Amino acid sequence: MSFPITINGTLHQVDDSLSGTKLLDYLHEVTNLTGTKLCCGIGICRACTVSVRKAGNDYAEPMIACSTPLNLLSGAVITTIEGVAEGDRLSAIQQAFLDNFAFQCGYCAPGFIMASEVFLSWLQTAQVSEAELDGLIENAIGDHICRCTGYIRYYEALRDVAVKTLEAKP
């Protein structure tokens, strides 16, 4: 038997024998999607964050791939860092991180990007004011660990895009 998982728009039938396999291992070893990074491996640093919309939900949430077994993801729709850009066109937050020199080695960047993508997607329909953004951004990326930078440029880049997202709302 198998169960379905959609990754970056491609449907995968996952054999039941892989139920306990961690999502990160599946991404790396089976799908050859290696952009999601393994760092601590124990659910602390969030370098391995991907976007997951679970079956039955109409919203995506950030999920740590290193610690999530596939059997919790039957029917889920997953987006990894490879699924963010449209061809050569970077997403708004990818471009903002570059423009703000937000990262150095870049190892943590896919996790920051995926958490930010989930946050910005939520922001498009949420009823929030600009005054609330600081706390919301802290919630969205405040637990991510970066060993190179001071975090502030990640924060400022996400704030820039978040403000534009609010301004663009009808």
Question: What residue ranges bind ligand FES (CB under 6 A)?
Answer: 38-41, 43-48, 64, 66, 103-108, 146-149
3 state DSSP class of 79: strand
Name the residue nearer to ligand FES (CB basis): 147 or 164: 147
How far is the C-alpha of 103 from the C-alpha of 7, rounded, in Å?
26
* 130 φ/ψ angles, rounded to the nearest 5 degrees: -60, -30
Q: How many CA atoms lie within 13 A of 136 on its CB side?
A: 18
| Least distance in angstroms from the C-beta of 20 to ligand FES | 17
The first and second tokens of residue 46, run together, are 């969030």
| Least distance in angstroms from the C-beta of 12 to ligand FES | 21
Name the residue nearer to ligand FES (CB basis): 29 or 130: 29
Name the residue nearer to ligand FES (CB basis): 30 or 40: 40
